[in-house]
Structures are given as C-alpha cells and as structure tokens.
Amino acid sequence: MKLICNIPSSPHSYEIEIGSRMGHTQYLRSLASKFAIITDDIVAPLYGESLTRELGGHLFSFPHGEQYKTRTTKELLENQLFEKGFGRDSCVIALGGGVVTDLAGYVAATYCRGIPLVMMPTSLLAMVDASIGGKTGVNGPYGKNMIGCIYQPKKVLLDLSTLKSLPKKEVANGMVEIIKHGLIASCKLFEAVEQGSDIQGMIFESCRIKKEIVEQDERENGKRRLLNFGHTIGHALERLTHYSLSHGEAVAIGLLVESYLSVKLGLLDQNSLERIHNVLLKNGLPLQLPSRFSLQNLLDTMAWDKKAQKREPRFVMIDAIGSSLAYGSTYCTHVEKSLIKDGLEWVNDALCCH
C-alpha cells in the first residue's frame, strides 16, 4: 500500500510505503553511495544489523530512550559519521521509534548542510505519526523538541513485521495517536479502533490523515494544530510527572479531558465522551494519575504550550467523533479559566488513584 505526500514547499513529493518487508535495496542504492543506518541499542540487534548487511552500510547506534534525544547524542553521531568518511554523497536511514526518527532526521537535515533521509519507523507511534510530516529535532534543558527543523524525507518505509517485537506498552502509545487521528478527522477510523479491526488498515488510514493535514499546513500555522488534540494537557502532565507518565499515557488523559471540555462547551455529547473513555481503556491506556496535581501548576505549565497566546493556553475542540472545529483558520480556541479548572478538577477526581 502506498500514499504520496505532496508538500507544496518541497521540490519533490515522496512515497509512504506500507508493507511487510525491509529491503528496497535497489531503490535505496539509487539514492546514495554510502548509507548511515542510525538506530538505538534495542532496534540495532533486532533489525539494524540485518539491514546493514543487506545494504552494505554502516550501523550507528545510541542508547534508547527520550533522555538520549539530545544535542550531545547528535554531536556524537555527527563526529562518528565524519570519522567513517561520510560525505555529501551519503544517505541517512532512520531506523527505529520516534526518538530515532526525530534525532536521525535532524542529523540528516544539517550534516553537510543536508543529505538524503529515508525514514524506516519501527514503533507504531513512529509509523503513524513521527516519521510523517518532516518534523525533526532534539530536546534541551528548556523543553521537548525545542531545537530542530522541518526536513522532508525522500521516502517513508513502514515494515509492519517489525511491530511483532514491539512491547505492549509501546503498542498502546501508538494506538493513542491513531485514536487522536480518528477523533479529529475520521469517525470511520475511530470505529475501526472500537471494533479492534485489522491494524494494517488503521495504520494506513492514520498515515493518510496525518499526511493530508501536513500537506495543507507544513509549518503548523493553522490546520496542523489539530494534531495537537489532547497534547495541551498531555504535555503538561508529562512534564509535571517528570516523564514517569509516558507520552501515550499522558496524551490519552489529555484526549479525555480536552473532550470533556468540548462536552462542557456544549459541542460534544456525553455518549461520545464515554466512547472515548472506553476505547482508551480497551487499548491498554491506564488513564490514571500518579498523584493529584495542583491546578495552578498545571495552568502554569500549559502556558508554555506552543498554541498558547500571551501565556494563555488554547485548545483544539471536537464537535463529534471525527469532526474538529476550524475557529476561522486557527484550529484552536481559548477556554475560560474556570472551565479549564473544572476539567482539571474532574481529571484529579476521576483518574487519581490516591
């Protein structure tokens, strides 16, 4: 299965291929004469070594985990590339989860002022989200993904057979983004998740939604903000728990609370909120807060959200499952502080285990 991604500012369109075999050796060899396969230490022995043998490239691996998505890791990788004689005729293959695709993508974007990049996502989240749309970058002491750039790949290759080794918790993290895509743009996709339909179809539909949004707004000045549904609260929870809640767990709670806000604004019906709650639980998301949060801390943290204006958070809203609101062309809106507090109190009461 194939999708074509047409980004207006990009000189070329590129393919997102969804299949079940690594390889594509012939195509890859047409891109460059030298390959830097960048991955983490979990994916390296699973898929990196065989791909490197097949392609005849060099394998570069760094320790897994969000804490290694840093400028330091980027610099180490760049130095290793120079030491191994990689020049402008090289290609970076980003093989792994979203940490790898973000970091290796950023390496490709700046190495020798930019060399070809091929995304080979191996986590569900990277397949349906991180590898599509061109956002690359690293974290810094001032926040997540604060340093980076938009750099489109030459191709995105999804080998679904790699999902067999993905831990259950990581599958759940990826399902959250599929559910989010359903909520903002496709009731059909949401229903497929509810019914536990086949994963290949859901991945295809999810990639289609993400790429169509990015095609319309590569630089997140409008419609791309929809992809942030659930993330205003989700990111704040991630930060306040010092990342003890995973991204997926935090965004799942964010989806629920932001849907609750839509209900309180009279946009969404109560039955839809219950369906959202149930589908998240059914897909292994615990929907539990480790402790009660101070409302002020949550509000202060949300003031740093990228959609915030004058340090007031703005939220994406849905008025039905599969239908989001445009608000002119801002795709997000301010919500009265008392209502945000109501939503946060609700989450404290409903989801806190202490």
Ligand X SMILES: NC(=O)c1ccc[n+]([C@@H]2O[C@H](COP(=O)([O-])OP(=O)(O)OC[C@H]3O[C@@H](n4cnc5c(N)ncnc54)[C@H](O)[C@@H]3O)[C@@H](O)[C@H]2O)c1
Q: Give the binding site for ligand X (CB under 6 A).
A: 40, 42-43, 46, 64, 66, 69, 96-100, 102, 122-123, 125-126, 129-130, 133, 135, 145, 162, 165-166, 170, 173, 247
The DSSP code for 171 is H
Please answer whether residues 193 and 302 qualify as being in contact, where contact means their C-beta atoms are separated by less than 8 angstroms.
no
Instruction: Name the pairing type of β-strands 314-315 and 333-334.
Output: antiparallel
Active-site entry in 180, 235, 239, 277:
235
Instruction: To the nearest 10°, report the CA torsion of 310, 316, 319, 325.
Output: 80
How crowded is residue 152: how many other Cβ atoms within 10 Å of its Cβ?
Answer: 24
Beta bridge partners of 148: 137
Active-site entry in 155, 211, 231, 314:
231
Please answer whether residues 309 and 334 qualify as being in contact, where contact means their C-beta atoms are separated by less than 8 angstroms.
yes
Three-state SS at 200: helix
Q: Is 135 a catalytic residue?
A: yes
With respect to ligand X, which residue has the nearer C-beta, 208 or 272?
208
With respect to ligand X, which residue has the nearer C-beta, 186 or 246?
246
Q: Is 194 a catalytic residue?
A: no
Q: Is 224 a catalytic residue?
A: yes
> C-beta of 175: minimal distance to ligand X in Å?
11
> C-beta of 263: minimal distance to ligand X in Å?
26
Active-site entry in 154, 180, 210, 211:
210
Instruction: Name the pairing type of β-strands 14-19 and 155-159.
Output: parallel
Active-site entry in 135, 181, 211, 223:
135
What 244-248 contacts at long range (C-beta under 8 Å, 24+ apart), as own/partner pairs, is 244/290, 245/289, 245/290, 246/169, 246/173, 247/125, 247/173, 248/125, 248/169, 248/172, 248/173, 248/174, 248/175, 248/176, 248/177, 248/285
> C-beta of 39: minimal distance to ligand X in Å?
8
Q: Is residue 97 within a helix (H) or strand (E), and if so which, with residue range?
A: none
With respect to ligand X, which residue has the nearer C-beta, 230 or 322?
230
Active-site entry in 154, 223, 247, 307:
247
With respect to ligand X, which residue has the nearer C-beta, 168 or 310?
168
> C-beta of 145: minimal distance to ligand X in Å?
5
Q: Is 228 a catalytic residue?
A: yes
With respect to ligand X, which residue has the nearer C-beta, 151 or 190?
151
> C-beta of 224: minimal distance to ligand X in Å?
10
Three-state SS at 159: strand
> C-beta of 337: minimal distance to ligand X in Å?
28
Sheet containing 58-62: which strands, arranged edge to edge?
A: 2-5, 14-19, 155-159, 117-121, 90-96, 34-40, 58-62
How crowded is residue 239: how many other Cβ atoms within 10 Å of its Cβ?
Answer: 18
From 147, 67, 97, 142, select the one nearest 304 (Cα to Cα).
142
With respect to ligand X, which residue has the nearer C-beta, 47 or 260?
47
With respect to ligand X, which residue has the nearer C-beta, 109 or 318?
109
> C-beta of 349: minimal distance to ligand X in Å?
29
Active-site entry in 155, 211, 223, 224:
224
Q: Is 177 a catalytic residue?
A: yes
Q: Is 173 a catalytic residue?
A: no
Q: Is 71 a catalytic residue?
A: no
Catalytic residue positions, numbered: 113, 135, 177, 210, 220, 224, 228, 231, 235, 247
